[in-house]
Amino acid sequence: MHDKKPKKAGKNVKSSIDVSPCLWPISSKTKNIIHNNKTLEFIFPNFLIKAFIIYSPYWKLNFQLVPFLILVLIAVLLIPLQTRFEEYVFRGYWMQGLGILAKNRWVPLVLTSVIFGAMHLANPEIEKLGYILLVHYIGTGFLLGIMTLMDEGLELALGFHAANNLVASLLITADWTAFQTNSIFKDISEPTMAGFEVFIPVFIVYPVVLYV
């Protein structure tokens, strides 16, 4: 007797169990962005260099080694917890819940982004720069929400939000901002009411980030 060879499955037959999420719990879009990060490496350092050149007359060196190292330790430990909580609430729990109720993606995206922006109304920056700054906060909410919907996961939003707040706390501070830290630089300029420059990151930089 000859051993029977197992029959090959037809082309249209697929396994009913997909184990790939167990092996790699990050979406394919996230992996593509991680693997093709040369553009990110080019954009963000150049952006920071240009920002320093433009604003350097108003930036004072504030670096003190020991306080800065303490700040790094506290920031690395606590800021990811803060941003993770916000992302789980806004882009996780609320976005999914509102999506189930509304049966579409637009309603949860708009509502969570507007509420996320309104949450920053108590920030001292609003008092100094004006309510037009809400465009930035609401726009950031839209960015994080679109990231979540496009990627079908929270990984990118979690990373972007944590990185943004870490840079804000470690790179530069001012006497009139929510983050007053022992950062590398200090903005010594006198704050004035913000203008249409608030729209530049929301309508130019953020779309580039999403495209990348």
Q: Give me the tens of pLDDT residue by residue for the chain, a chain 212 residues long.
A: 444 444 444 333 333 333 233 333 344 444 444 444 434 443 444 555 545 555 567 788 899 999 999 999 999 999 999 999 999 999 999 999 999 999 999 999 999 999 999 999 999 999 999 999 999 999 999 999 999 999 989 999 999 999 999 988 999 889 988 889 999 989 888 888 888 888 988 999 899 989 87
Q: Taking the alpha carbons of 10, 11, 16, 21 in that order, is the dihedral positive or negative?
A: positive
The pTM of the full predicted model, rounded to 2 decimals, is 0.74
Q: What is the mean pLDDT of the chain?
A: 79
Beta-bridged to residue 186, according to DSSP, are: 60, 173
